[in-house]
Structures are given as C-alpha cells and as structure tokens.
Structure 1
Amino acid sequence: MGYITAGINHRTAPISLREQVAFSADQLPDALQNARAYTGIEEIAILSTCNRTEIYCALHNSEVEAIELCYGKLIDWLTHYHQINSHQINSHQINSQLLTEYTYCFHDEEAVRHLMRVACGLDSMVLGEPQILGQLKSAYASAQEADTVGPALNRLFQHSFTTAKQIRTETAINEQPVSVAYAATRLAKQIFSDLSENTALLIGAGETIELTARHLCQQGVSKLIVANRTLERARLLTDRFGGRPVLLSDLSQILHESDIVISSTASPIPVLGKGAVERALKQRKHKPMFMVDIAVPRDIEPEVSELPDVFLYTVDDLQDVIEDNLQQRKEAARKAERMIEADTFEFMTRMRSLNAVNLLRNYRQSTETIRDQELEKAMQWLARGANPEEVLQQFARSLTNKLMHQPSVQLKNAAALGQQEKLEWAEKLLGLGISQKTDSTQDA
C-alpha cells in the first residue's frame, strides 16, 4: 500500500492557470467518480481552494513505476476533465505535458508529510491560516459521499486531522491574525486610513467573506453591504455584523456606493466586469475604489485593473501584506515541523506494521492449510488401522518437508546468485544466528 499526491498551488503556478483547474463544491461528486473511472485508482480525494488543487490517492502498488504511471494518469485526467487544451498561459498551449511543469507529485512518506503540513496551514500562502483545515475536512467528506475513500485514505486523513488539532493546541501557529481576509482588511486600511468613513461591499457569503466582515467591523467600517446569489444567506451575515443584504443581480445598481469591494464567490465566471466598474466610477465622480478579488476562478475581470482610480488586488498580491505578522508564527512553525516529522514517522511505522500483519496472516493461513492437509492424511491412515507410531512419524516428516520446501528453494536460489544479504536476513528471520551465538556462549 502506498500514497500519492499530485497538485498545483500558489507557489508553482500563476492564478491564470490555477483557476482553470479549480473545482467547485458542486463539481466534486462527479469529478471524483470521473477520476476513479479514468485512472483506475480506487481511493481518491480532491482538495480545491483559491490557492491549490490537490489530488490524494492510495495505491496498492507503491513501486516507482506504478507511482509514475498514476501521476501521468492524474495529470492527463485533470487536463481532460477541465478541457484546458484549448487555453493558453504565458503564450504557450496547455496540454498534459506542459501542465506537468506546474504541478508536483509526492509519494508515500513525502505524501503523508505534505498532507499534514497542508492541514496545519504550513503550506498555505498565509502561514498557519485556520480555514484550510475546514476545507480539507470538507474535501474528505465529499470523497466519503462519493464513495472514493477506503481504509487507507481514511487512516491518512484521520491521522492528519489529529496532528493538526494537536499542533494548533500546543503551538502559537494561528495566534496572530494573518489570514487572507485579514490581509485584505489591512491593505484597505493602508489605502483608506480611517475606515469609519468608508462603505464596504462584500461579494459572496462564505467563510472567507464572513471572516472579512468580522475584520472590517473591528476596524470600524461605517457601512457594510453583502451581495450574494441568495438574499437569505447574505442576510445571515448582515444580521450578525450589521449592514444591508442585496442580490448579486443588483450589483450594478449599488456598486457606486462602495469604496471597498472584496469578493470571494464560487462562480465559474466573473461576477463583476469592466463595464460595470466604469459606470460606477462615473457615478462616483472618479472617487477611488479599492478592490480585492480573493476568488479562484476570479470574480472580477482582470481588465478592471486598467481603469484609473481603481486599486485591484488578487490573492497573489496579498503575499507582501501578510509578511509583517509572520515572525511569531515562524517560530511556532518550526516546532510544528518537528511534530509533523514525528507523526509522519509514527504513521509510516504503523502502516508498515499493517503490511507485516497481512503478511503474517497469509503465512499463517498457508501453514495451517498444509497442516490440515497432512493431518487429514494421517487421520485416514489411522482409520485404516495403520500403526499410530508410524503414522505420527510420517506426519511429522511430511509436515516438516512441506513447510521447508518454499524457503529451501528461495535460499538455494539466493546462494546461487550470490545474494549474501538475503541469506544473512534469512538467518536472522529463522533465528539461526541467535541460536548459534547462544550455543557458542554455552560451550565457552
């Protein structure tokens, strides 16, 4: 049994490619089933956030050739499923071969360590950010519902969740607020020094927008507008933080009221275009607008950044903003890394011991089958009136010969091929070296 992770994230690829391979929550059930059918891999889970898309798999064969074959199938499937052959990035045609340049692959111990680091926020753009653990749990739940999680992936995810909880309890990894939502709020405060005089428009009503609303209210923003596909969901946020709920379809009518626009929806296409922003700027008499697009795929058309009086930032632009609050977390991260190393070793040791359990179970079944066959023969001879002493002697000889046959064949082959290490290991396995040392000690 082995593990493999294939992925793409904010460190390996620009947002223009990440948004092409992103999955919405609605897509995941079909994508998981499709991936299993396409690749032939039974256990698969998919995590897709604004900063990463990763595929986690458990394999029965962990040989290097099998790992490379599965990785190739996963990249082919990702390219095929999202139909990105017709898209371009950096003036290059995207296909599975080029997509490989932007992705990474981890297997076995590296894959285990990576998943734990992701769960703890150590691999996030914002070091230690807590939202990723919830997103990972949602990805796991989606795979369970799609019936693409088996015993191996289940053990890995549960162990990773336990490790993440322990690290968050025993370190200061998430004590300083440095989430993407916090970074967006801090950047707004740098542009508008006194947020109490500004109106903020939040597009979407998910976890990130909720966190953004909390930070904005703490900074004293005067007016809050929440736009969402459903008015009920938007009202849940405005009831908690104050403000006005509106529908996404009404964006063009209220956009001009907003000094700050922060968007994070799951829409596959932009919800705010250049034309709508141009009209809003005219109504505002070109009073500046600060906009942050946290979504992947992007909610705000990139061309909006070309407009004067607009400050448009994406998730990739927030990296510089969050550096100031990271020093304390970096020390906690070093402690977390040490804990992950220990937990990775513990998990891999447990998994290897499970392999030994299966081997021992099979070995016991094999020897018991031989025993039962020879015992049946002996019982038949006794039933025919054969001498019990002779029957027992024959039973013992035959059982010994049968049990020794396969090991004897393998030892002779190893000796013929000069495989001394295998012979020495067999000596330890059979306890012969220990027995010989004990005898020689007694003789002395």
Structure 2
Amino acid sequence: MPLIALGLNHLTAPVTLREQVAFDPEATAAALHELQQEPGVEEAMILSTCNRTELYVGVAAGAEQLPLAWLSRHHRLTPGKLDEFLYRHDEQDAARHLFRVATGLDSMVLGEPQILGQVKDAYQLAREAHTLKAPLDRLLQHTFAVAKRVRTETRIGAHTVSVAFTAVRLAEQVFADLREACVLLIGAGDTIELAARHLADKQARRLIVANRTLETAQELAGRYGGYAVALADLPQHLAEADIVISSTAARQPVVTRAMVEQALAARRRKPMFMVDIAVPRDIEPAVAELPDVYLYGIDDLQQVIDDNRRSRAAAAREADAIIDLQVDRYMAWRRALTLRNPALDLRQHAEAYRDEVLDKARAMLARGKSPEEALGFLAHTLTNKLLHHPSARLREAALSGDLDLLHAAGRLYGLDEEEPGPRDA
C-alpha cells in the first residue's frame, strides 16, 4: 500500500490559492470519510493550517492519482488548477516530509512549535473518523517521537519565534513604543494567545480581544489584562485600535473595507497597522487600498522570518540527521509488513501433517488396530514428517561445510541451549 503526501504550502502557493483548499475544522471529519470512500484509498489524514493543506494517504497500487483528483473535485476547482503549486512525496520521502513538518523544519518560522500541536489535532480527527490503519497510525506515532527527540537533542526550539511573535515584532517597527498603542486581537486560538502574551510582555497600553464566543474572549483577555468584546460588536470598537492582529477560522472576512473606512473616519485619519495571519483571510484584501492603513498578510511576514531562519540553520542540519535515521527505521517496519512470515507457513505445514496422520491413525482404530499401535504409528510418522525436510537440509549443510546454517538451526531449535552430552557420530 503506497504512502503519499500531497499538498501545497506557503512556499509553493499564494495565500489566495491556500484559502481555496483550506479545510474548515468542523468539516474535516466529513471530508476524511469522503476521501476514504474513493476507490483505492485505504487510509487518510488531512492537515490544514494557515500555511499548508496536506493529504497523507495510503492507497492501493495504481491509485496514486486519486488524492489529487479528489482534492480538486472536493473544492470545486478547475482540473489542473493546482498542478503547478502542488508537491507530492512517496514512501520514505512522504515519511521524511511529515517528520520535517512536525518538527517545524518545513514551517515559515523555522522550528516553530505550534505545528506539532496541529499535526496532533489532525491525527486525533483522523482517529475519531476511523480513517487510519496500522501503517499511517504507526507513522504518526513515530512522528511524535521524532519531534520530541529533535526538540530535546537540538537547539531548533531555542529562542522560539512564532508567527505571532513575528507579527508583534513587525508592529514594533511601526510603533517604536507599544506602551502607547491600543491593540485589537481578533480570535482566541493559540496564535492570538501567543500574540497576547508577547504584547503583555511589551506592556502594550491596551488590549482588546474580540471573538465569536464572548466567554472565550473574556477568559483570554482576563489572563493578560485586556477586555473582551463580541465579534458582532467589532465595528463599534475598531476605531480604538492602533494595531489589529487577526487569526480566526472564519470562512469569510470578519473585517471589511467599509468597517475600516468608518473606523478611519472616527480616528480622523490616524494610521492603523493591521496584520492578518489567518487562512482564509480575516481582513478583506481591499482594505490595503485605503490610505492610512498598513495591512500585512501572512506571506508578508517572510522577510522578518528569514532573519530567524538563518540563525537556526545549524540546528536544522542536526535535526535532519535525526530525521533521516528515523525514516530508515520506519521504512524498515513498513517493509516487514510485506514480508511473508515463515512462522505462519511452518505452522500451516505442521497442522496439515498432523491432520493427515491423525486421519490415518483413526482409520487404523476403525480397522480394529489397538490404540497402542495407532498411537505409536501417529507419533513415529508425525515426527518423521516434521523432521524430514530440516534433517535433509542439515545433512547437506554438514557435507558442504555450511556452518552458518548449522549454527542457525541450533539457535532455531534451542539446541545451543542444551547441556552438552554424548552425540551420535
């Protein structure tokens, strides 16, 4: 069963296309069931984040093109539209790619830790949807062990810089002193919480957290000294913000051009700095056309991130060495699945001999032979049948001087563990 990793990410596709192939978390389970029902698809996991959408699929031989066709069809895209943006990895390259993704080596921010949690979430969704079988499940278990080892044995996670931190750092370049800035955070997930933590460390003058669920916003705002508003009340509070950082799972923009125009008028054209780190985007792209607005998308953070990437290059090389070793071990386990187990063959042969000789012994009893004679025949004949082929091979090995086979036979039958004693010549 070939293993395939198929997807696109921040390096291969623009955000406009990544939006179109992103999977809504609430709809992922249904998508997994739909994918697994494709003829030839044996198991599947979907990983969808702001920077990537990837399918990890085990397929029957000859069905390698099905995941691509399904992805385009599921998102109602024109056939061929994704071709130049997609990457595909097979077998050990697929395993290596997943290991690199989970350890942050394939992330926009080299070594960022959030991706491991996202891979674990994707794994949990696939498990709950019952779309995993042993090979892919084992790969994910191996992935988590590799990620832990890389974090422990290298400095890839030292001075971790997340996308949230990068957004805050970019805001500092516009507002030299965040202690004078009011910051509006839209969303309440991990990325926004990280941003809130960084902003609290920078002593931002004021934090506002807007979220669809007010109670969740209140919990987050309370931890960092801010105050919460419902997402529906966003238009009334947007004018208060000097800085807006948004990351929700909404399928449509939550901040429109009209809302920002109204806020700018209330601010008397005082500039606004906005960072949209959601995919699909939270802030309508047309907002960037407005004067006095500085809008940055997730792809615009790349320059800030590249500085960090260079400082972690040595740690990344160490991590890749660990990953290469673990890829070899996982692929050895996969190959073992395809090997015929000689123990099963041996047992089947033995049981066939047993049934054959047992039938003959019962026939002897039916013809009036004594039980003692029938048992003697059964024991003698069964022993000869079971030992005939091994004995013949061992005689050949002794004559040819094949010591490896003779020693292996001793280990196989436990003869090397017996006490030495007199032997026949």
Q: Same fold (TM over 0.5)?
A: yes
SS of residue in 1 equivalent to 2:341: helix
The answer to whether the Cα contact below 8 Å between 1:378 and 1:392 also exists between their aligned partners in 2 is no
Looking at structure 2, the residues matched to 222 and 33 of structure 1 have their Cα atoms a distance apart, in angstroms, of 48
In structure 2, what is the equivalent of residue 23 of structure 1? 23
Find 2:127's aligned residue among 125, 130, 144. Answer: 144
Contact 1:378-1:395 within 8 A present in 2 as well: no
Structure 2 counterparts to residues 26-41 of structure 1, below 5 A: 26-41=26-41
What value does the CA root-mean-square deviation take over the aligned residues?
A: 2.7
Q: Is the partner of 1:320 in helix, strand or coil?
A: helix
**SS of match in other structure, 2:304:** coil
Q: Which amino acid aligns with 1:438?
A: G
Cα distance in 2 for residues equivalent to 1:12 and 1:31? 23
Deviation at 1:76, TM superposition (A): 1.7
Matches within 5 A, 1:21-420: 21-59=21-59, 61=60, 63=61, 66=62, 69-70=63-64, 72-84=65-77, 94-95=78-79, 97-356=80-339, 359-380=341-362, 382-383=364-365, 384=367
* TM-score normalized with structure 1 length: 0.82
Query: How far 1:370 sits from its partner (Å)?
Result: 3.0
CA 1:327/1:436 → structure 2, altered by over 3 Å: closer, same or farther?
A: farther
TM-score, normalised by the number of residues in structure 2? 0.86
Paired with 2:145 and 2:347, the residues of 1 have a C-alpha distance of 35
Aligned pair in 2 of structure 1 residues 434, 285: CA closer, same or farther (>3 Å)?
Answer: farther
Deviates more, 1:287-296 or 1:33-42: 33-42
SS at match of 1:291: strand
Question: For 1:439 and 1:142, how far apart are their aligned partners in 2?
Answer: 54
Q: Distance in 2 between matches of 1:159 and 1:440?
A: 39
Secondary structure at the aligned position of 2:209 is classed as strand
Give how far 1:177 is off. 3.0
Q: Is the 8 A contact 1:293 1:314 kept in 2?
A: yes
Does the C-alpha gap of structure 1 residues 231 and 395 become closer, same or farther in structure 2, counting only changes over 3 Å? closer
Aligned with 1:125: secondary structure?
coil
Is 1:382–1:391's contact at 8 Å kept on the other side of the alignment? no
Partner of 2:401: 438
Alpha-carbon offset, residue 267 of structure 1: 0.3
Does structure 2 conserve the Cα–Cα contact (< 8 Å) formed by 1:128 and 1:174?
Answer: yes
Matches of 1:130 and 1:433 in 2, distance apart? 60
Q: Residues 116 and 340 of structure 1 are in contact (CA less than 8 Å); yes or no, is this contact kept in structure 2?
A: yes
**Residue in 2 that maps onto 1:410:** none
Deviations 1:230-287 (A, max 9, x none): 1101111111001110111111111111111110000001111111111111111211
Q: Is the 8 A contact 1:381 1:391 kept in 2?
A: no
| Counterpart Cα distance in 2 of 1:349 and 1:335 | 22
> What is the CA deviation profile of residues 406-440 of structure 1, one whole-angstrom value per residue up to 9, with x for unaligned ones?
xxxxxxxxxxxxxxxxxxxxxxxx89997675269
User: How far off its partner does 1:175 sit?
Assistant: 1.3
Which runs of 5 or more structure 2 residues have no equivalent in the other structure? Answer: 405-425
**Identity between Structure 1 and Structure 2 (%):** 47
Whole-angstrom CA distance in 1 between matches of 2:330 and 2:395: 32
Partner-residue secondary structure (3-state), 2:160:
coil
CA–CA distance in 1 between the matches of 2:379 and 2:167? 84
Q: Distance in 2 between matches of 1:188 and 1:434?
A: 78
Matched residue count:
397
- 1:426 aligned partner: none
Cα pair distance change 1:111/1:127, threshold 3 Å: same
What CA distance in whole angstroms lies between the structure 2 residues aligned with 1:439 and 1:360? 21
Q: CA deviation at 1:367?
A: 1.8
1:200 aligned counterpart, secondary structure:
strand
Relative to 1, partners in 2 of residues 1:352 and 1:278: Cα closer, same or farther, differing over 3 Å?
same
Deviation, 1:7, is 1.2
